[in-house]
Homo-oligomer: A and B are copies of this chain.
Amino acid sequence: MVTVLDQLVKLLAKLPGVGPKSASRMAFHLIKTDKEYTARLATAISEIQDKIFPCSICGSFTEEDPCPICSDPNRNRTLLCVVEQPQDVLTIIASGSYDGLFHVLGGALSPLEGIGPADLNFSGMMKRLAEGVFEEVVIATNPTEEGDTTAMYIKHLLKDKNIIVTRLASGLPIGGDLEYADRLTLARSMRGRIRYQD
């Protein structure tokens, strides 16, 4: 009926996690809201791909090359955290629990989806490790089948490299309820149980 509105709803519905109903709620909001805001949002969307690109060292998204993390002299340059996606870097930074460097693989190994070692940035990782500065690789791929496969592959690649290889702990989410934990998470959390130190 209203074609401009329909178009906007269809475009919004292509965003991840947005269905037709929420797209239409957003569109109606955009019609009624402060016009300066819609202008700023439109500009931010149209410019994002020109301003953000992958860091040539770690592969995470940045506005300058190398990225602020890679060029930060205050970070621990003996620690390398390997993640699947650029957004994982921000998530880990936001947790405030890590002060080392990062390496973005660009995905996880998935035979089913035809993603093999050549499709991910393992060669860049090996090149960085070959420089001999890193002492520990923290594997922070997702706790999924693909992420686990990728972690095993990295462990295999680094077998004789005299580098400590660790993996993020899996277990019950903080604030979660035992009753609602799935079987696999519970099993992992049981296997990985921590002994209290006296």
Contact = CB atoms under 8 A, between A and B. Distances in A.
Interface of A: 1-5, 7-8, 11-12, 14-18, 22, 24-31, 35, 37-49, 51-52, 61-63, 68-69, 85-87, 90, 93
Contacts of A16: 22, 25-26, 29
Interface core residue of A30, A37, A63 (most chain B CB under 10 Å): A30
Closest 10 CB pairs between A and B?
A42-B46, A42-B45, A8-B44, A42-B42, A11-B41, A4-B51, A28-B87, A15-B26, A16-B29, A17-B22
Determine how many copies of this chain the complex contains.
Answer: 2
A90 B24 contact: yes
Contacts of A28: 61, 85-87
A129 B61 CA distance: 59
Nearest to A20: B94
A61 B30 contact: no
A42 to B, nearest CB: 4
Nearest to A44: B8
Contacts of A39: 46
A4 to B, nearest CB: 5
Given A1-B68, A4-B44, A4-B47, A17 B25 contact: yes
